[in-house]
């Protein structure tokens, strides 16, 4: 790996730990006065446009096939993934959303096995998957489970749907004809996903109840924070880290982000933290640690075990040789969990 100043490494890790961990609470603040799908659509359209304008002049022109692939992956990751999370946060505390999204590597491992050419999970991976599912059950199960209040069932269902969309999109992104540049591919996915989110918001009639004059300063600042810090600054730090340090180390954000989200929800939004929350967090994060480290020992880096996207809907991607595309990018491997903050 390239030798880089320690301070730059520390700042980059703080960015993906703290900024991405805080995006779940930022989403909650943003949707207080802005409809969830329209909020997410405008956010990703703006972030995608900025990123596309920066990286497009340095890359070959994307083909029609590239745009079709970006539409498919952007739809799964951002419309099905981030859109469902934004809607779920109207019914579920942001910290609980982050914990359930933190179980993303479980679905990545299971779907990766189910797809053609997939690898059967080892005994260690099966144990981790079972442990993670116990954590999810603690969150959505009856109130008799360790005390505390169960979360809204419709909100929980939306989160589960979003994780399946993210996991599917993450795995398919390795098989479709996306551009070789991870920055250009991500910009295109943001543009396509942002457009689909906006169409969904209009189809659901969100524009009829949306009053721009009623948008609070807190919601506006939250959207700007998600756009600038979550989608651009932290993402750039993530891509840079993949080039200069181990993907397994970078993947540690997968189990730091939920802890940050739960703490911020408790400290800044009075979200409850019960024994149930603590037990669920320990089970889910323990499972993610096992899966991430197990996957890190293989030839694919953090690869499928670490997931393919940040849970909140950001679309971080390390370079990886692909089928199709304009060029193959050689790098330590692909680590994508979901993720954007939210």
- The pLDDT profile of the chain, 342 residues, written as one tens digit per residue, is 457 888 999 999 999 999 999 999 999 999 999 999 999 999 999 999 999 999 999 999 999 999 999 999 999 999 999 999 999 999 999 998 988 887 777 777 788 777 777 777 788 888 888 888 888 888 876 654 545 566 788 998 999 899 889 888 888 888 899 998 989 999 999 999 999 999 999 999 999 999 999 999 999 999 999 999 998 998 889 888 888 887 767 877 877 888 899 999 999 999 988 888 888 888 888 887 887 777 655 433 333 333 334 445 454 444 443 444 433 222 222 333 343 446
C-alpha distances (whole Å) from 110 to each of 130, 224, 249, 270 are 11, 36, 23, 35
Helices (H) and strands (E) in the chain, counts: 17, 2
Gap between the Cα atoms of 97 and 311, Å rounded:
9
Q: What is the per-residue pLDDT for 297?
A: 53
Chain centroid to Cα 31, Å, comes to 18
Task: Give the DSSP H/E element, type plus range, for residue 27.
Answer: helix 20-30
Whether residue 13 contacts residue 254, with contact meaning beta carbons closer than 8 Å, is answered with: no
Alpha helices, H only, 204-274: 206-209, 217-225, 234-244, 247-250, 253-269
Helices 217-225 & 36-55 angle (0-180, nearest 10) = 40
Q: What is the per-residue pLDDT for 148?
A: 57
Q: What is the per-residue pLDDT for 309?
A: 40
Gap between the Cα atoms of 88 and 26, Å rounded:
14
């Amino acid at each position: 790996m390239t030798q880089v100043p320690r301070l730059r490494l520390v700042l980059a890790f703080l960015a993906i730990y703290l900024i991405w961990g805080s995006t779940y609470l930022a989403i909650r603040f943003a949707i207080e006065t802005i409809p969830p799908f329209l909020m997410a659509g405008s956010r990703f359209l703006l972030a995608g446009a900025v990123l596309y304008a920066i990286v497009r002049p340095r890359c070959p022109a994307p083909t029609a096939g590239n745009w079709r692939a970006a539409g498919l992956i952007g739809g799964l990751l951002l419309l099905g993934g981030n859109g469902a999370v934004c809607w779920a946060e109207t019914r579920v505390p942001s910290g609980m959303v982050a914990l359930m999204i933190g179980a993303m590597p479980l679905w990545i491992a299971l779907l990766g096995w189910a797809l053609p050419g997939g690898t059967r999970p080892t005994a260690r991976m099966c144990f981790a998957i079972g442990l993670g599912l116990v954590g999810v059950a603690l969150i959505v199960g009856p109130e008799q489970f360790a005390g505390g209040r169960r979360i809204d069932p419709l909100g929980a269902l939306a989160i589960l749907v979003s994780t399946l969309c993210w996991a599917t999109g993450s795995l398919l992104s390795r098989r479709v004809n996306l551009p070789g540049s991870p920055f250009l591919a991500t910009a295109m996915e943001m543009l396509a996903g942002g457009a689909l989110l906006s169409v969904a918001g209009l189809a659901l009639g969100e524009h009829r109840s949306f009053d721009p004059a009623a948008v609070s300063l807190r919601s506006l600042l939250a959207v700007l924070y998600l756009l600038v810090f979550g989608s651009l600054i932290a993402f750039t730090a993530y891509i840079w880290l993949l080039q200069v340090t181990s993907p397994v180390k970078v993947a540690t954000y997968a189990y730091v982000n939920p802890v940050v989200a739960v703490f911020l929800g408790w400290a800044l939004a009075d979200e409850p933290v019960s024994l149930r929350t603590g037990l669920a967090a320990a089970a889910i994060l323990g499972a993610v640690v096992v899966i991430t480290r197990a996957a890190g020992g293989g030839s694919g880096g953090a690869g499928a075990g670490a997931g393919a996207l940040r849970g909140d809907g950001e679309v971080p991607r390390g370079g990886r040789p692909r089928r199709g595309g304009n060029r193959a990018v050689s790098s330590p491997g692909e680590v994508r969990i979901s993720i954007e903050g939210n």
